Structures are given as structure tokens and as C-alpha cells.
Amino acid sequence: MAITLTSLPLAWVAQPTLMDYGVNQTGAMGGVQQRGIRLGSRWAVKFSSLAGLSYAQAQPLIAARLKASVTGSTLITSWPQVAFATAIGAPVVDGAGQGGGTLSVRGLTPSIASLVAGLFFSVVVAGRSYLYQLADPAAVDGTGRAVLSIAPWLRAAPADGALLAFAAPNVEGFLDAGGVDWTLDRLAWVGLPAFTIQELQ
């Protein structure tokens, strides 16, 4: 079961990264270069260090990271996405057994007409949260349906009716293997070093 990392209490810097497992291949004797797509690409996010936290602010963050480390559990936290003002409805997966770089969805608000490229969303498959980004604008038809072009490609097939979390997408994965440590300044202020969460698949 995933351990929830609470919202960070002060200003912080997040560095999202696509862990790309594709490969560029060049033909023998200087032939044409080709791009090989692999299904393992996934997201990671590095959270910057935080200084000047009170112990009460730092305790939940330290405890969650410690628990995830010692139990081998994943950490789940909000993905850094700027909130958008337009209500998009309650989109869900439209049909089981989907794969590849597109995802059919229903339940969007027809009046929004389209979704902009670059939006992130997460979907839960078999109890685990998977994160994706819209690679292209998506047209919404009069019934609230759309076909989303996504990056990276689907790594696990979501069930029909699975909810897409656009307003508050999550990233879930293991904490980087650097250990869990912190600083304590005059027994009053806590500093947390940078850490990374990377999706498992």
C-alpha cells in the first residue's frame, strides 16, 4: 500500500523528468538513424531541499519517508501541476483493454470543446497510480468523449470507468535510495534534503 506524502509546507522547487527508455539506433556504415520506442518510459520528480521548517511541519514528511523506506512501500504525492480554472467534468476511461499512445475517455464537459496539450493526469490500475501527459490537444465531442494522445504510452491497461485525476494528479513510486536524513538547527528548525520519487513502471 502506498504511503501518502503530505503537501510540503513551504515554497519548494520541483523538477519533473521523463525517464525515457527509448533508444536511438544508427544503421551500420552511417545509415539512417531511427528511434526505438520502449514501453518502460515513466515519470520522476525531484523535490528540492527545504530549510527552516518547524518540527511540527517536518514530522509528517520525515515519518512518511521513513515508513516507505523501511517497509518497501511506494510513496504517493501530488504532481506539481498549476491548477486550471475550467471545469472539465468527471472524465473516466471509455472501454477496457486499451494500450499504446492513445486513451479513449468519456465524461468530459462538452462545452469545453478541447483539452490543451501539456495537461497531466493520473489513473489508478490495480491499486497503483500511473501518471501521463496530454501530448496533443484533444477535441471533445458533443457527448463528452475524446481520444487522448498521451505520453508516455500506457504501461498498464486501466479498467473501463477508471477515474482520470486531472485536477489533482498523483505520482507514485519508490523514494530514491539515498536514505532518510534531516538537519536540526538549535533543536528548533528542521532542514530536509532533496529527494526524488520515481514511478515503478
Look up the CATH number of the domain holding residue 39: 3.30.200
Among 24-38, 123-137, 174-188, the range of highest mean pLDDT: 123-137
Does any domain span residue 27?
A: no
Q: Tell me, yes or no, whether 15 lies in a domain.
A: yes
Q: Let me know if residue 29 belongs to a domain.
A: no
Residue 191 belongs to domain spanning: 3-22+34-79+172-199
User: 73 and 38: one domain?
Assistant: yes
Do 163 and 177 lie in one domain? The reply is no
Task: Indicate if 155 and 192 belong to the same structural domain.
Answer: no
Q: Give the chain's largest Cα–Cα span.
A: 65
Confidence of residue 144 (pLDDT cuts 50, 70, 90): very high
Whether the CB-CB separation of 157 and 99 falls below 8 Å is answered with yes
101 and 130, same domain (yes or no)? yes
Q: For the residues 165-182, what does the mean pLDDT come to?
A: 84
Q: Report the distance separating Cα 183 and Cα 194, nearest Å.
A: 12
Look at the chain and report how many structural domains it folds into: 2
Encode pLDDT of 50-63 as tens digits: 888 888 888 888 88
How crowded is residue 2: how many other Cβ atoms within 10 Å of its Cβ?
A: 16
Q: 70 and 7 share a domain?
A: yes
Q: What is the pLDDT of residues 78-131, one digit of tens each?
A: 887 777 666 788 999 999 999 999 999 999 998 887 888 999 999 999 999 999
pLDDT (0 to 100) of residue 8: 64
What pLDDT, on the 0 to 100 scale, is given for residue 7?
Answer: 67
Q: Does residue 84 lie within any of the structural domains?
A: no
What is the C-alpha to C-alpha distance for residues 122 and 125, in angstroms, rounded to an integer? Answer: 10
Could you tell me the CATH number of the domain that includes residue 116? 2.40.30.290
Domain match, 160 and 190 both = no
Decide if 150 is inside a domain: yes
Residue 10 pLDDT exceeds 60: no
User: Is residue 28 one of the residues assigned to a domain?
Assistant: no
Residue 195 reports pLDDT greater than 90: no
